[in-house]
Amino acid sequence: MSVTPVVSEVDSPNQKITIPPLLGASVTELTAWVQQQGQPGYRGKQLHDWIYNKGVRSLADISVFPKQWRAEVAEIPIGRSTIHYRSVAPDGTVKYLLKLSDGFIIETVGIPTEKRLTVCISTQVGCPMACDFCATGKGGYKRNLAHHEIIDQVLTVQEDFQQRVSHIVFMGMGEPLLNTDNVLAAIKSLNQDVGIGQRNMTVSTVGIRDRIRQFAQNKLQVTLAVSLHASNQTLREKLIPSAHPYKIEDLLTECREYVEITGRRVSFEYILLAGVNNLPEHASELAKRLRGFQSHVNLIPYNPISEVDYKRPNRDQIQAFVKVLKQHHIAVSVRYSRGLEADAACGQLRADKQ
């Protein structure tokens, strides 16, 4: 980003100045900004450290800055959200509802495991894709998140856990590839300013025509996860109405291009809905479709949401599906959602608590 976009205005003693939320700016950009404010350049590095490492929420709290200047810039937004609601599941997963500066609420999840702290982040307020099994989709779409609102989620979890975030999954509310520019800016800053490796980031998309191909041109090292969820077009359209004009073959062609362009494999997410898409014939159809593809299938047993009455398959049914894929030499794993005890499926928390 540049340091000069007009995002909001504050009154300074002398004149009206235009200012950005500072979160998302690089050390170079912050240095230019402090100089523009009449401060020595080294304060840019200090500001960078306070924003990204110390997680400061107000410029007034940066104790290494001169008192008078702190007072002058106290109202300039850094771009942090506030925690509106927080719930901890017995397995240690923490779900947050974060309040944005305009009052909208988004969901973020912190998922601790022995060696990792993963954050599941949102990219939009709501989602326009309206997938039939998804609580977020049922709530409609409000707006894209700005890049600082994406980065903020990671800093919030880091601060709350008092632990460095190691992994990021773009699997919260929203469709990342409908907000590509801000997602790209956030990835860049999370990588360079927050210090998280691109290989530890996964961007999940339901697939929007041409967007995977465009995304690939950035040659990032992030993992692309594609929400396939069905082994054929008819079934996919039933679950994902937005898939209607975008045939599964075209989606897979773009995924193959992604592998060619980036050299990274794609992972396919496949929600398991009992009696709908989890039968052995679906597994073999899926396997045939993915034959020879450098990919990995992530099976996600359905997390019940209140608006629809799909059922999660039992363990035997899940294992039967896994077995067929393995027989066809497809790399597969089952992803059981964490933190279900506290607040049901993703997206459900916001619906319940807002």
Question: Known binding site for [4Fe-4S] cluster: residues?
Answer: 127, 131, 134
For position 118 contacting ligand SAH by CB under 6 A, the verdict is no
Binding residues for S-adenosyl-L-methionine: 174-175, 204, 227-229, 303
Q: Compare residues 47 and 134 and give the one whose CB is closer to ligand SAH.
A: 134
φ, ψ dihedrals at 60, nearest 5°: -65, -20
To the nearest whole angstrom, how small is the minimum distance from the Cβ of residue 246 to ligand SAH?
13
Q: Compare residues 52 and 268 and give the one whose CB is closer to ligand SAH.
A: 268
Active site members: 107, 346
Kindly tell me which residue out of 182, 345, 349, 350 binds ligand SAH, with binding defined by CB under 6 A.
345
Looking at residue 302, what DSSP letter applies? P
Give the position of tokens 């305009």. 102
To the nearest whole angstrom, how small is the minimum distance from the Cβ of residue 139 to ligand SAH?
12
Residue 323 backbone zone (phi > 0: left; psi -120 to 50: alpha; other: beta): alpha
In sequence order, which residues have a C-beta less than 8 Å from that of residue 68 and are 6 or more positions away?
A: none
Q: Which two tokens stand for residue 56?
A: 């400061």
Pick out residues in 245-274 that bind ligand SAH (CB under 6 A): 269, 271
Pick out residues in 190-209 that bind ligand SAH (CB under 6 A): 204-206
For position 175 contacting ligand SAH by CB under 6 A, the verdict is yes
Distance of alpha carbon 204 from alpha carbon 294, whole angstroms:
17
Q: Compare residues 34 and 208 and give the one whose CB is closer to ligand SAH.
A: 208
To the nearest whole angstrom, how small is the minimum distance from the Cβ of residue 48 to ligand SAH?
30
Kindly tell me which residue out of 157, 187, 286, 305 binds ligand SAH, with binding defined by CB under 6 A.
305
CA dihedral (15, 21, 25, 29) in degrees, to 10, reads 0
To the nearest whole angstrom, how small is the minimum distance from the Cβ of residue 303 to ligand SAH?
4
Angle between helices 280-289 and 315-327 (to 10 degrees): 30
Give the DSSP H or E segment for 269. Answer: strand 266-272
Of 84, 87, 160, 105, the C-alpha closest to 342 is: 87
For position 222 contacting ligand SAH by CB under 6 A, the verdict is no
Give the position of tokens 């995924």. 255
Neighbours of 316 (CB within 10 A): 8
For position 302 contacting ligand SAH by CB under 6 A, the verdict is yes
Residue 275 backbone zone (phi > 0: left; psi -120 to 50: alpha; other: beta): left
Q: Compare residues 46 and 298 and give the one whose CB is closer to ligand SAH.
A: 298
Q: Compare residues 42 and 336 and give the one whose CB is closer to ligand SAH.
A: 336
Binding residues: 127, 131, 134, 174-175, 204, 227-229, 303
Q: Which two tokens stand for residue 123?
A: 């990219």
Q: Could you list the residues that contact ligand SAH (CB under 6 A)?
A: 129, 131, 133-134, 171, 175, 204-206, 227, 269, 271, 300, 302-303, 305, 345-346
